[in-house]
Amino acid sequence: MKELLSYDRTKTTDKTNANCSALPLLSWEFYGSHLMDNHQFGQESAKLQKITKRWNTDYGLRKKLVFEQNVVIITDVQLRIVYTSANIEKLNGYTPDEVVGNTPKLFQGADTCPRTSSRIRAAIDKAKPFEEKILNYKKNAEPYYCVIKGYPVFDKKGSLINYIAFETAA
C-alpha cells in the first residue's frame, strides 16, 4: 500500500508528472483479480439461479464462492450431484462435468475414515447441518484433507429438496 500512497502523493504534488496517465501495476492486478472473480460468479450464478429459485435460504453463495473461495457442491435428495462450482478442479482435479450425476462417494477412497463418513451420513439422514474434516482423493488418486460444511436445503413449503456443501482444503 505504501507504493500506492507514494504514487498518489507524487501525482498530486509533482507538476512535472501532471500529465502522467500511468497507474501502478499493482492497482490493476487487484482490480483485475476482482473482475475475474465477479466474472466467474456471473457465469456460476445463472446455473445457481435455476437450482436455488425454490430455496427458502440463499446460504450466502456469492460470499462463499467469490470471497471465501469455497467449492460449492449441491446434491438432490438421493445425493446425486446436480451442481458444483468451477473451482472444484483446483481442489481435486475433477471438472464439474465429470462430477455432476455422481455421488460425493466419488471423492472417497481406501483411507477415508469410515467413522467420519458415518457421522456425515447420520447428519444427512436426519436432515441436520454438519461440519467435518475428511480425507478425500483427487482425480489423480492423491489424498487430500478438506473441511466440509453441509446443510439440508428446504423449499419455501418446508420440504427437503437438496443438500449443499461448502468445501475448502484443510
- Domain-wise residue ranges, the chain: 27-169
* φ and ψ at residue 109, rounded to 5 degrees: -150, -165
Residue with cell 477415508: 112
Structure letter (DSSP) for residue 60: T
- Measured between alpha carbons, how far is 121 from 101 in angstroms, rounded to an integer? 19
Residues making up the chain, counted from first to last? 170
Quick check: pTM over 0.75? no
Residue 54: closest CA among 156, 162, 165, 152: 156
Q: What is the pLDDT along the chain (170 residues), one digit of tens a residue?
A: 555 555 556 555 555 555 555 555 554 444 444 444 455 556 676 677 777 777 767 777 766 766 668 899 999 999 999 999 999 999 999 999 999 999 999 999 999 999 999 999 999 999 999 999 999 999 999 999 999 999 999 998 999 999 999 999 99
Q: Domain 27-169: which topology?
A: Beta-Lactamase (3.30.450)
